[in-house]
Structure 1
Amino acid sequence: MKIFDITRTINPSLAVWPGDTPFLAEIITAIKDGSSINLTTLTMSSHMGTHVDAPYHFLDDDLTMEAVSLEAYIGPATVVTVQREAGPLTVADFPGLDWSRVERLLVHSVASDKPIDQFPTEFVYPSPELAELMAQYGVVLFGSDAPSMDDMDSKTLPGHKALRRHRIAILEGLLLTGVPDGNYELIALPLKIEGGDGSPVRAVLRG
Protein backbone atom coordinates (compact mmCIF):
# COMPACT_ATOMS: atom_id res chain seq x y z
CA MET A 1 0.00 0.00 0.00
CA LYS A 2 1.37 3.40 -1.02
CA ILE A 3 1.03 6.60 1.00
CA PHE A 4 0.82 9.98 -0.74
CA ASP A 5 1.55 13.02 1.41
CA ILE A 6 -0.76 15.69 -0.03
CA THR A 7 0.18 18.39 2.49
CA ARG A 8 1.97 21.61 1.60
CA THR A 9 5.20 22.12 3.53
CA ILE A 10 4.86 24.98 5.99
CA ASN A 11 7.79 27.38 5.90
CA PRO A 12 8.35 31.15 5.63
CA SER A 13 8.17 30.95 1.82
CA LEU A 14 4.66 29.48 1.74
CA ALA A 15 2.35 32.18 0.41
CA VAL A 16 -0.70 33.10 2.48
CA TRP A 17 -3.95 34.82 1.62
CA PRO A 18 -3.16 38.52 1.10
CA GLY A 19 -3.24 40.24 4.48
CA ASP A 20 -3.10 37.00 6.48
CA THR A 21 -0.31 36.07 8.91
CA PRO A 22 2.83 34.55 7.35
CA PHE A 23 4.61 31.65 8.99
CA LEU A 24 7.30 32.43 11.57
CA ALA A 25 9.33 29.95 13.63
CA GLU A 26 11.09 31.63 16.56
CA ILE A 27 13.77 29.64 18.37
CA ILE A 28 13.28 29.84 22.13
CA THR A 29 16.11 27.53 23.20
CA ALA A 30 18.71 25.63 21.17
CA ILE A 31 21.04 22.74 21.98
CA LYS A 32 23.82 24.44 20.02
CA ASP A 33 23.55 27.37 22.44
CA GLY A 34 23.91 25.17 25.52
CA SER A 35 20.31 24.24 26.20
CA SER A 36 19.28 20.64 26.80
CA ILE A 37 16.51 20.93 24.17
CA ASN A 38 15.48 22.65 20.96
CA LEU A 39 12.22 24.58 21.44
CA THR A 40 10.37 26.76 18.97
CA THR A 41 7.39 29.12 19.05
CA LEU A 42 5.26 29.09 15.91
CA THR A 43 3.26 32.04 14.59
CA MET A 44 0.92 31.37 11.68
CA SER A 45 -2.63 31.58 10.39
CA SER A 46 -5.18 28.91 11.23
CA HIS A 47 -5.66 28.65 7.46
CA MET A 48 -2.00 28.08 6.65
CA GLY A 49 -1.22 25.77 3.75
CA THR A 50 -3.28 22.58 3.74
CA HIS A 51 -6.15 23.18 6.15
CA VAL A 52 -9.80 22.68 6.98
CA ASP A 53 -12.40 25.38 7.46
CA ALA A 54 -14.65 25.25 10.48
CA PRO A 55 -18.17 26.52 9.71
CA TYR A 56 -17.46 29.40 12.11
CA HIS A 57 -14.96 30.71 9.56
CA PHE A 58 -17.81 32.04 7.43
CA LEU A 59 -20.89 31.71 9.68
CA ASP A 60 -20.61 33.55 12.99
CA ASP A 61 -23.14 31.38 14.82
CA ASP A 62 -21.89 27.98 13.63
CA LEU A 63 -19.48 25.32 14.89
CA THR A 64 -15.93 26.12 15.91
CA MET A 65 -13.03 23.75 15.34
CA GLU A 66 -13.17 21.74 18.56
CA ALA A 67 -16.85 20.92 17.98
CA VAL A 68 -16.56 19.72 14.38
CA SER A 69 -17.12 16.00 13.81
CA LEU A 70 -13.99 14.17 12.62
CA GLU A 71 -15.80 11.55 10.56
CA ALA A 72 -15.64 13.51 7.32
CA TYR A 73 -11.85 13.76 7.45
CA ILE A 74 -11.16 10.01 7.45
CA GLY A 75 -12.40 7.58 4.83
CA PRO A 76 -12.75 6.76 1.13
CA ALA A 77 -11.83 9.60 -1.22
CA THR A 78 -11.76 10.07 -4.97
CA VAL A 79 -9.11 12.22 -6.69
CA VAL A 80 -10.21 13.82 -9.96
CA THR A 81 -8.14 16.09 -12.21
CA VAL A 82 -10.11 18.94 -13.79
CA GLN A 83 -9.18 20.81 -16.96
CA ARG A 84 -10.71 24.08 -15.85
CA GLU A 85 -8.05 26.44 -14.51
CA ALA A 86 -10.28 28.97 -12.77
CA GLY A 87 -13.90 29.68 -11.99
CA PRO A 88 -16.87 27.73 -10.67
CA LEU A 89 -16.88 23.96 -11.09
CA THR A 90 -20.04 22.26 -12.34
CA VAL A 91 -20.97 18.66 -13.05
CA ALA A 92 -19.71 19.19 -16.62
CA ASP A 93 -16.16 19.40 -15.24
CA PHE A 94 -16.37 15.75 -14.12
CA PRO A 95 -17.26 13.77 -17.26
CA GLY A 96 -17.56 10.05 -16.68
CA LEU A 97 -17.39 10.29 -12.90
CA ASP A 98 -19.62 7.75 -11.14
CA TRP A 99 -20.99 9.97 -8.40
CA SER A 100 -22.62 7.05 -6.64
CA ARG A 101 -19.13 5.86 -5.64
CA VAL A 102 -17.86 9.21 -4.36
CA GLU A 103 -17.81 9.85 -0.60
CA ARG A 104 -15.10 12.50 -0.51
CA LEU A 105 -14.11 14.43 -3.64
CA LEU A 106 -10.58 15.82 -3.98
CA VAL A 107 -10.08 18.13 -6.95
CA HIS A 108 -6.67 18.32 -8.62
CA SER A 109 -6.20 21.50 -10.66
CA VAL A 110 -3.30 23.60 -11.90
CA ALA A 111 -3.05 25.12 -8.40
CA SER A 112 -0.92 22.15 -7.31
CA ASP A 113 1.78 23.18 -9.78
CA LYS A 114 2.04 26.84 -8.80
CA PRO A 115 5.22 28.02 -6.99
CA ILE A 116 4.66 27.94 -3.23
CA ASP A 117 5.74 31.55 -2.82
CA GLN A 118 3.13 32.86 -5.26
CA PHE A 119 -0.45 33.07 -4.01
CA PRO A 120 -2.85 32.06 -6.80
CA THR A 121 -5.36 34.83 -7.46
CA GLU A 122 -7.42 32.70 -9.86
CA PHE A 123 -8.47 29.14 -9.09
CA VAL A 124 -11.36 26.69 -9.26
CA TYR A 125 -14.09 26.46 -6.65
CA PRO A 126 -17.40 24.59 -6.33
CA SER A 127 -20.57 26.15 -7.64
CA PRO A 128 -23.67 25.93 -5.42
CA GLU A 129 -25.14 23.63 -8.07
CA LEU A 130 -22.22 21.24 -7.67
CA ALA A 131 -22.71 21.28 -3.90
CA GLU A 132 -26.35 20.38 -4.44
CA LEU A 133 -25.39 17.46 -6.69
CA MET A 134 -22.82 16.18 -4.19
CA ALA A 135 -25.41 16.34 -1.43
CA GLN A 136 -27.79 14.24 -3.51
CA TYR A 137 -25.13 11.53 -3.70
CA GLY A 138 -24.14 11.73 -0.05
CA VAL A 139 -20.69 13.29 -0.48
CA VAL A 140 -19.37 14.29 2.96
CA LEU A 141 -16.23 16.26 2.07
CA PHE A 142 -15.04 18.46 -0.78
CA GLY A 143 -11.31 19.08 -0.99
CA SER A 144 -9.22 21.04 -3.45
CA ASP A 145 -5.70 22.26 -4.11
CA ALA A 146 -7.14 25.78 -4.35
CA PRO A 147 -6.99 28.17 -1.37
CA SER A 148 -10.74 28.81 -1.15
CA MET A 149 -14.20 27.51 -1.97
CA ASP A 150 -15.11 30.85 -3.56
CA ASP A 151 -13.75 33.44 -5.93
CA MET A 152 -10.99 35.54 -4.40
CA ASP A 153 -13.10 38.71 -4.41
CA SER A 154 -16.32 37.14 -3.14
CA LYS A 155 -17.94 38.77 -0.12
CA THR A 156 -21.01 36.51 0.07
CA LEU A 157 -19.14 33.16 -0.11
CA PRO A 158 -21.84 31.13 -1.90
CA GLY A 159 -19.57 28.09 -2.33
CA HIS A 160 -18.65 27.86 1.35
CA LYS A 161 -22.24 28.37 2.44
CA ALA A 162 -23.69 25.88 -0.04
CA LEU A 163 -21.28 23.22 1.17
CA ARG A 164 -22.17 23.94 4.79
CA ARG A 165 -25.89 23.95 4.03
CA HIS A 166 -25.48 20.39 2.77
CA ARG A 167 -23.15 19.39 5.64
CA ILE A 168 -20.18 18.88 3.32
CA ALA A 169 -16.82 19.43 5.06
CA ILE A 170 -14.20 21.70 3.49
CA LEU A 171 -10.53 20.86 2.90
CA GLU A 172 -8.36 23.46 1.15
CA GLY A 173 -4.79 23.91 -0.05
CA LEU A 174 -4.04 20.30 -0.96
CA LEU A 175 -0.93 19.38 -2.93
CA LEU A 176 -1.91 16.72 -5.44
CA THR A 177 1.07 16.78 -7.80
CA GLY A 178 2.03 13.22 -8.70
CA VAL A 179 -1.15 11.66 -7.35
CA PRO A 180 -2.95 9.60 -10.01
CA ASP A 181 -6.69 10.01 -10.29
CA GLY A 182 -8.54 7.25 -8.49
CA ASN A 183 -9.82 5.99 -5.18
CA TYR A 184 -7.93 6.21 -1.89
CA GLU A 185 -8.34 6.44 1.86
CA LEU A 186 -8.04 10.03 3.09
CA ILE A 187 -6.70 10.96 6.52
CA ALA A 188 -6.68 14.71 7.23
CA LEU A 189 -7.34 15.41 10.89
CA PRO A 190 -7.55 18.99 12.19
CA LEU A 191 -6.25 20.20 15.53
CA LYS A 192 -8.75 20.53 18.38
CA ILE A 193 -8.60 24.32 18.66
CA GLU A 194 -11.20 25.76 21.02
CA GLY A 195 -13.02 28.61 19.30
CA GLY A 196 -11.03 27.96 16.14
CA ASP A 197 -12.20 28.99 12.67
CA GLY A 198 -9.90 26.50 10.95
CA SER A 199 -6.85 24.30 11.39
CA PRO A 200 -3.82 23.11 9.46
CA VAL A 201 -3.84 19.36 8.79
CA ARG A 202 -1.37 16.68 7.74
CA ALA A 203 -3.29 15.20 4.83
CA VAL A 204 -2.35 11.80 3.39
CA LEU A 205 -3.86 9.33 0.96
CA ARG A 206 -3.47 5.57 1.23
CA GLY A 207 -4.10 3.38 -1.76
Structure 2
Amino acid sequence: MAHLIDISVPISPALPVWEGDPPIEQKRAADMNKGDICNVTRLNTGVHIGTHVDAPLHFINNDLAVESLELDRFVGDCYVVELTGTGPITGAELAAANVPSDCTRLLLKTSNSAFWQEEPLRFHRDFRALDSSAARWVIEHNLRLIAIDYLSIEPFEAEPGNPTHCILLGGRVAILEGINLTEVAPGPYNLLCLPLKILGSDGAPARAVLQPR
Protein backbone atom coordinates (compact mmCIF):
# COMPACT_ATOMS: atom_id res chain seq x y z
CA MET A 1 0.00 0.00 0.00
CA ALA A 2 1.27 3.47 -0.88
CA HIS A 3 2.50 5.76 1.88
CA LEU A 4 -0.26 7.74 3.61
CA ILE A 5 0.29 11.34 4.66
CA ASP A 6 -1.79 12.34 7.66
CA ILE A 7 -3.01 15.93 7.13
CA SER A 8 -5.20 15.96 10.24
CA VAL A 9 -4.32 18.02 13.29
CA PRO A 10 -4.34 16.24 16.67
CA ILE A 11 -7.26 17.03 18.96
CA SER A 12 -6.32 18.03 22.51
CA PRO A 13 -7.04 20.87 24.95
CA ALA A 14 -4.00 22.65 23.42
CA LEU A 15 -5.73 22.94 20.05
CA PRO A 16 -7.06 26.45 19.34
CA VAL A 17 -10.76 26.78 18.63
CA TRP A 18 -12.77 29.49 16.88
CA GLU A 19 -13.20 32.60 19.03
CA GLY A 20 -16.33 32.20 21.14
CA ASP A 21 -16.53 28.42 20.73
CA PRO A 22 -16.22 26.25 23.83
CA PRO A 23 -12.69 25.08 24.62
CA ILE A 24 -11.76 21.45 24.16
CA GLU A 25 -12.09 19.53 27.42
CA GLN A 26 -10.51 16.10 27.57
CA LYS A 27 -10.15 14.04 30.72
CA ARG A 28 -10.24 10.48 32.02
CA ALA A 29 -13.69 9.39 33.15
CA ALA A 30 -12.15 6.11 34.21
CA ASP A 31 -8.47 5.65 35.01
CA MET A 32 -6.62 2.38 35.61
CA ASN A 33 -3.99 4.31 37.58
CA LYS A 34 -6.77 5.10 40.05
CA GLY A 35 -8.04 1.54 40.32
CA ASP A 36 -10.60 1.46 37.50
CA ILE A 37 -10.80 -1.67 35.33
CA CYS A 38 -10.10 0.27 32.11
CA ASN A 39 -9.27 3.71 30.77
CA VAL A 40 -12.14 5.80 29.36
CA THR A 41 -11.62 9.30 27.95
CA ARG A 42 -14.36 11.90 28.04
CA LEU A 43 -14.32 14.62 25.34
CA ASN A 44 -16.42 17.78 25.60
CA THR A 45 -16.20 20.11 22.63
CA GLY A 46 -17.91 21.61 19.60
CA VAL A 47 -17.93 19.88 16.22
CA HIS A 48 -15.94 22.52 14.28
CA ILE A 49 -12.58 21.68 15.81
CA GLY A 50 -9.27 20.88 14.18
CA THR A 51 -9.68 18.99 10.94
CA HIS A 52 -13.41 19.01 10.27
CA VAL A 53 -16.15 19.09 7.66
CA ASP A 54 -18.96 21.65 7.30
CA ALA A 55 -22.47 20.54 6.39
CA PRO A 56 -24.92 22.89 4.60
CA LEU A 57 -26.83 23.14 7.90
CA HIS A 58 -23.90 25.13 9.29
CA PHE A 59 -25.02 28.29 7.45
CA ILE A 60 -28.29 27.30 5.75
CA ASN A 61 -31.02 26.60 8.28
CA ASN A 62 -33.01 23.37 7.86
CA ASP A 63 -30.62 22.13 5.16
CA LEU A 64 -28.58 18.92 5.03
CA ALA A 65 -26.89 17.73 8.21
CA VAL A 66 -23.55 15.95 8.25
CA GLU A 67 -24.97 12.40 8.10
CA SER A 68 -26.54 13.25 4.72
CA LEU A 69 -23.32 14.35 3.02
CA GLU A 70 -22.20 12.37 -0.05
CA LEU A 71 -19.11 10.55 1.20
CA ASP A 72 -17.67 10.12 -2.29
CA ARG A 73 -17.01 13.85 -2.34
CA PHE A 74 -14.40 13.25 0.38
CA VAL A 75 -12.68 10.26 -1.24
CA GLY A 76 -10.81 10.28 -4.54
CA ASP A 77 -8.42 12.20 -6.76
CA CYS A 78 -7.42 15.64 -5.50
CA TYR A 79 -4.84 18.31 -6.19
CA VAL A 80 -2.79 20.40 -3.76
CA VAL A 81 -2.00 23.94 -4.86
CA GLU A 82 0.31 26.27 -2.94
CA LEU A 83 -0.73 29.92 -2.76
CA THR A 84 2.07 32.27 -1.72
CA GLY A 85 0.10 35.51 -1.53
CA THR A 86 -1.30 37.32 1.49
CA GLY A 87 -4.77 38.44 2.51
CA PRO A 88 -8.05 36.93 1.35
CA ILE A 89 -7.85 34.43 -1.50
CA THR A 90 -9.63 35.82 -4.56
CA GLY A 91 -11.07 34.26 -7.66
CA ALA A 92 -8.28 35.88 -9.67
CA GLU A 93 -5.66 34.20 -7.47
CA LEU A 94 -7.27 30.80 -7.98
CA ALA A 95 -7.49 31.42 -11.73
CA ALA A 96 -3.74 32.09 -11.80
CA ALA A 97 -2.85 29.04 -9.67
CA ASN A 98 -2.60 26.54 -12.55
CA VAL A 99 -5.30 24.27 -11.17
CA PRO A 100 -5.66 21.29 -13.55
CA SER A 101 -8.79 21.51 -15.67
CA ASP A 102 -9.93 18.07 -14.53
CA CYS A 103 -9.50 18.82 -10.81
CA THR A 104 -12.63 18.16 -8.74
CA ARG A 105 -11.11 18.26 -5.24
CA LEU A 106 -8.79 21.17 -4.46
CA LEU A 107 -6.66 21.51 -1.33
CA LEU A 108 -5.11 24.91 -0.69
CA LYS A 109 -1.71 25.13 0.98
CA THR A 110 -1.04 28.61 2.34
CA SER A 111 0.97 30.35 5.03
CA ASN A 112 -1.73 29.09 7.42
CA SER A 113 -0.03 25.71 7.72
CA ALA A 114 2.81 27.34 9.67
CA PHE A 115 0.33 28.18 12.44
CA TRP A 116 0.09 24.47 13.29
CA GLN A 117 3.83 24.40 14.09
CA GLU A 118 3.68 27.03 16.83
CA GLU A 119 4.31 26.24 20.48
CA PRO A 120 2.04 26.98 22.17
CA LEU A 121 -0.73 26.94 19.60
CA ARG A 122 -2.99 30.00 19.48
CA PHE A 123 -5.92 31.22 17.43
CA HIS A 124 -5.08 33.52 14.51
CA ARG A 125 -7.49 35.98 12.96
CA ASP A 126 -5.23 36.77 9.99
CA PHE A 127 -5.49 33.35 8.33
CA ARG A 128 -5.91 33.09 4.57
CA ALA A 129 -9.34 32.04 3.29
CA LEU A 130 -11.66 32.45 0.31
CA ASP A 131 -13.56 35.64 -0.39
CA SER A 132 -16.86 35.51 -2.28
CA SER A 133 -15.19 35.81 -5.70
CA ALA A 134 -13.08 32.73 -4.93
CA ALA A 135 -16.20 30.85 -3.79
CA ARG A 136 -17.86 31.68 -7.11
CA TRP A 137 -14.73 30.48 -8.95
CA VAL A 138 -15.04 27.14 -7.16
CA ILE A 139 -18.69 26.82 -8.24
CA GLU A 140 -17.95 27.86 -11.82
CA HIS A 141 -15.22 25.23 -12.09
CA ASN A 142 -17.45 22.44 -10.79
CA LEU A 143 -15.29 21.48 -7.84
CA ARG A 144 -16.78 18.84 -5.56
CA LEU A 145 -14.56 19.69 -2.59
CA ILE A 146 -12.48 22.63 -1.40
CA ALA A 147 -10.11 22.44 1.56
CA ILE A 148 -8.13 25.04 3.50
CA ASP A 149 -5.30 24.73 6.03
CA TYR A 150 -6.98 26.60 8.87
CA LEU A 151 -10.22 26.58 10.84
CA SER A 152 -12.46 28.31 8.28
CA ILE A 153 -12.85 28.49 4.51
CA GLU A 154 -14.05 32.10 5.02
CA PRO A 155 -11.97 35.00 6.42
CA PHE A 156 -12.40 35.95 10.07
CA GLU A 157 -13.69 39.36 8.98
CA ALA A 158 -16.27 37.86 6.66
CA GLU A 159 -18.32 39.83 4.16
CA PRO A 160 -21.90 40.52 5.32
CA GLY A 161 -24.03 37.40 5.18
CA ASN A 162 -21.05 35.00 5.12
CA PRO A 163 -21.25 34.63 1.31
CA THR A 164 -18.26 32.27 1.01
CA HIS A 165 -19.89 29.59 3.15
CA CYS A 166 -23.34 30.19 1.69
CA ILE A 167 -22.16 30.04 -1.94
CA LEU A 168 -20.17 26.86 -1.41
CA LEU A 169 -22.65 25.03 0.81
CA GLY A 170 -25.60 26.15 -1.29
CA GLY A 171 -23.78 24.79 -4.33
CA ARG A 172 -23.21 21.48 -2.52
CA VAL A 173 -19.43 21.86 -2.51
CA ALA A 174 -17.89 19.81 0.28
CA ILE A 175 -15.86 21.95 2.70
CA LEU A 176 -12.87 20.50 4.55
CA GLU A 177 -11.24 22.85 7.07
CA GLY A 178 -8.31 22.66 9.47
CA ILE A 179 -5.93 20.47 7.48
CA ASN A 180 -2.15 20.68 7.91
CA LEU A 181 -0.21 20.71 4.64
CA THR A 182 3.19 21.62 6.08
CA GLU A 183 4.87 18.45 4.80
CA VAL A 184 2.85 18.18 1.60
CA ALA A 185 4.27 19.22 -1.77
CA PRO A 186 1.94 20.63 -4.44
CA GLY A 187 0.63 18.08 -6.88
CA PRO A 188 -1.82 15.21 -7.36
CA TYR A 189 -2.92 12.90 -4.55
CA ASN A 190 -5.75 10.64 -3.49
CA LEU A 191 -7.79 12.05 -0.61
CA LEU A 192 -9.31 9.83 2.06
CA CYS A 193 -11.48 11.76 4.51
CA LEU A 194 -14.51 10.61 6.48
CA PRO A 195 -16.43 12.88 8.87
CA LEU A 196 -17.97 11.39 11.99
CA LYS A 197 -21.62 10.43 11.48
CA ILE A 198 -23.23 12.74 14.05
CA LEU A 199 -26.98 12.84 13.45
CA GLY A 200 -28.43 16.29 12.92
CA SER A 201 -25.06 18.03 13.22
CA ASP A 202 -23.88 21.05 11.21
CA GLY A 203 -20.38 19.62 11.00
CA ALA A 204 -18.07 16.91 12.28
CA PRO A 205 -14.41 16.25 13.02
CA ALA A 206 -12.67 14.10 10.41
CA ARG A 207 -9.49 12.14 9.86
CA ALA A 208 -7.95 13.12 6.53
CA VAL A 209 -5.00 11.51 4.76
CA LEU A 210 -3.39 11.86 1.36
CA GLN A 211 -2.00 9.09 -0.80
CA PRO A 212 0.59 10.17 -3.39
CA ARG A 213 -0.24 9.37 -7.01
TM-score, with structure 1 as normaliser: 0.93
Query: Are 2:194 and 1:189 equivalent residues in the alignment?
Result: yes
Query: Are 2:163 and 1:149 equivalent residues in the alignment?
Result: no
Detail structure 1 runs of 4+ shifted over 6 Å in the superposition. Answer: none
What amino acid is aligned across from residue 139 of structure 1 in structure 2? L
Cα 1:5/1:113, change in 2 over 3 Å? same
- 1:110 CA drift (Å): 0.9
* Map of 1:21 onto structure 2: 22
* Map of 1:54 onto structure 2: 55
- 1:120 CA drift (Å): 1.4
Cα 1:123/1:203, change in 2 over 3 Å? same
* Map of 2:88 onto structure 1: 87
Query: Are 2:205 and 1:200 equivalent residues in the alignment?
Result: yes
Contact kept, 8 Å, 1:128 with 1:163, in 2: the verdict is no
What amino acid is aligned across from residue 185 of structure 2 in structure 1? P
Partner-residue secondary structure (3-state), 1:113: helix
Structure 2: gaps of 5 or more residues: none
Distance 1:86 1:119 in 2: 17
Structure 1: gaps of 5 or more residues: none
Aligned positions, number:
207
Cα 1:81/1:164, change in 2 over 3 Å? same
What amino acid is aligned across from residue 140 of structure 2 in structure 1? Q
Contact kept, 8 Å, 2:91 with 2:137, in 1: the verdict is no
Could you report, residue by residue, the CA deviation over 1:149-171 in whole angstroms, capped at 9, with x for unpaired residues? Answer: 22213251111111123221101
- 1:83 CA drift (Å): 0.9
* Map of 1:102 onto structure 2: 103
RMSD (Å) for aligned C-alpha atoms = 1.6
TM-score, with structure 2 as normaliser: 0.91
- 1:75 CA drift (Å): 0.8
Distance 2:199 2:75 in 1: 21
Q: Which moved more, 1:180-189 or 1:131-140?
A: 131-140
Distance 1:33 1:192 in 2: 33
Seq. identity, %: 34
Partner-residue secondary structure (3-state), 1:206: strand
Which of 124, 128, 152 does residue 124 from structure 1 map onto?
Answer: 128
